[in-house]
Structure 1
């Protein structure tokens, strides 16, 4: 059994996937690197995956499947994982070697100790192409450092600060126990990967290191704003799925409930701002329908999200209101460094 399984979803990733794989090799025999070729046909992704499996037997494993999207690749990685812990690293991202060693040291300590760790959280860095200043998503004000803690010990997350796929390493059996299975042929499922397991997480540990390097800058990336607008239907689909997993207003732990409500709030805001920025009346109708559906299905949650600060900002009337919504979004965008 391995200490850590790392799945790398690859789709026509030949131009950059080796940088990702090489950054993970220092984990040695304690780590398995699951290179998931998700039906690549335009380049030699499959051959690269096979070569690394041959060159690093017992460490790298190539998994080939028909194209099913990012979610299907994560599902395949999770199904094949033999590690006690599980992480996803996208093929255009990489990890910092020194922080990597600290991560493995921490996981090893729990595996051989008496306490069970459900989720390890680390910082990540926005490696934005052309940006002089690299924005770090740090959790040092929100989470206790270097100690095992529960939701009751969580402090306050500031606006725009969320635990993302880049930040987390889950206990593999926890993901299987909560029957995590991401939808296929759908973008933005990384939100589901982080969100759905949360009520099953009882113990956490925050390691204040800049481990994951999140590359932003390719024009075809799913987080590119124009690409996101073009895929607004998929963003809405993921948001609806997340709204349906739990009635978060009834989650008993106050801090977990608050965090999950805030996560849904940002999902609703993203759908709304994409509709507004598209300038399309069709998309504005989709935005309206999303809010109306929430109002019918969960009135209590609707009131919390619709009349919260962000919800009000996304539902200002008229063209002037839309302009104010976009201005507020741009300020947040500049401050937090996303997209």
Structure 2
């Protein structure tokens, strides 16, 4: 990409706001923040490092960086409220033209961050998609198939309605225009995990244009104890997963997503299978089976697009094909985490 000199943009204008959720991440936060401060465009970036009432040295570390980079790094302390409340704070205070999330135990590829800033200098899509590396401590980058959307990276800005619906893009790959979040995002629920999927859905419901950048930006750490996507965490917090997907269903109706681009529609409805699968992680019982049946009945009645999307999961398809008799062998055998 052609590099744009800093003199070509307003030096005091923040082009990107980064929200770092920093709850007990003292062992990882320096790597996280170092990946940002090394950017050639640090003066165009603001970073809210939100200590969510943790009990380690995360806040002290953040304050040290704030002292060194007072125009870009902002240490924030708040009472513990959960991941969603850190996002609420950062959206409310964001000055950047674009906004994205970064978990406190993850980090950015600095070269990818610079390319993102350069793209923002030149173009103004509603949504920018970049690549993610999954990194295992002591091993390195875990190879993944190249994303389906790579063939679109030669185009600078595209209409979302022209993008195939099957493209899978998550929070780690996504940067949104801040005004979409300020205008359309509802308050993220407190003390609830999995609210990052709300970050995907709220602005995406109103996005019309997208850019795909063939660069790695997000580096996602694998294997850390207590991660919300672990099997143990999904079981412990399954009710929170159910609640978050219920919010997505409601927002789907409110934002009239059924009449928007197929990619957006599918991004919403694809989350439905989580409601069924997270219950299938629990021990086999008639209570849990009946819970699945009740969710299926209610969703079929009230959110038919979500119900129809459930068959994207082979497990959900098997349940329906067998009149839910397949529940018992599937759960006894153990379904894979996702």
State TM-score, norm by structure 1.
0.85
Match of 2:129 in 1: 121
The answer to whether the 8 Å contact 1:5/1:87 transfers is yes
The answer to whether the 8 Å contact 2:281/2:335 transfers is no
The answer to whether the 8 Å contact 2:205/2:257 transfers is no
The answer to whether the 8 Å contact 1:127/1:213 transfers is yes
Counting only pairs closer than 5 Å after superposition, residues 230-269 of structure 1 correspond to structure 2 as 230-247=236-253, 251-256=258-263, 259-261=264-266, 263-265=268-270, 267-269=271-273
Q: 1:131 to 1:304 in 2, by over 3 A?
A: farther
Q: Secondary structure at the match of 2:225?
A: coil
Root mean square deviation of aligned Cα: 2.6
1:83-104 CA distances to partner (integer Å, 9 max, x unpaired)?
1111110001111122121111
Q: 1:99 to 1:136 in 2, by over 3 A?
A: farther
**Structure 2 Cα separation of the partners of residues 274 and 118 of structure 1:** 32
Q: Secondary structure at the match of 2:111?
A: helix
Following superposition, the deviation at residue 308 of structure 1 comes to: 5.4
Following superposition, the deviation at residue 82 of structure 1 comes to: 1.1
Q: Secondary structure at the match of 1:196?
A: helix
Counting only pairs closer than 5 Å after superposition, residues 88-103 of structure 1 correspond to structure 2 as 88-103=101-116
Match of 1:211 in 2: 217
Q: Which runs of 5+ in 1 are unaligned?
A: 111-115
Match of 2:318 in 1: 313
**Structure 1 Cα separation of the partners of residues 176 and 300 of structure 2:** 33
Counting only pairs closer than 5 Å after superposition, residues 109-188 of structure 1 correspond to structure 2 as 109-110=122-123, 116-129=124-137, 134-136=142-144, 138-141=146-149, 144-146=152-154, 147-157=156-166, 162-188=168-194
Q: Which runs of 5+ in 2 are unaligned?
A: 1-12
**Structure 1 Cα separation of the partners of residues 275 and 258 of structure 2:** 24
Counting only pairs closer than 5 Å after superposition, residues 61-76 of structure 1 correspond to structure 2 as 61-76=74-89
State TM-score, norm by structure 2.
0.85
Match of 1:271 in 2: 275
Task: Give the number of aligned pairs.
Answer: 319
Q: 1:204 to 1:329 in 2, by over 3 A?
A: farther
Following superposition, the deviation at residue 150 of structure 1 comes to: 0.9
**Structure 2 Cα separation of the partners of residues 328 and 254 of structure 1:** 36
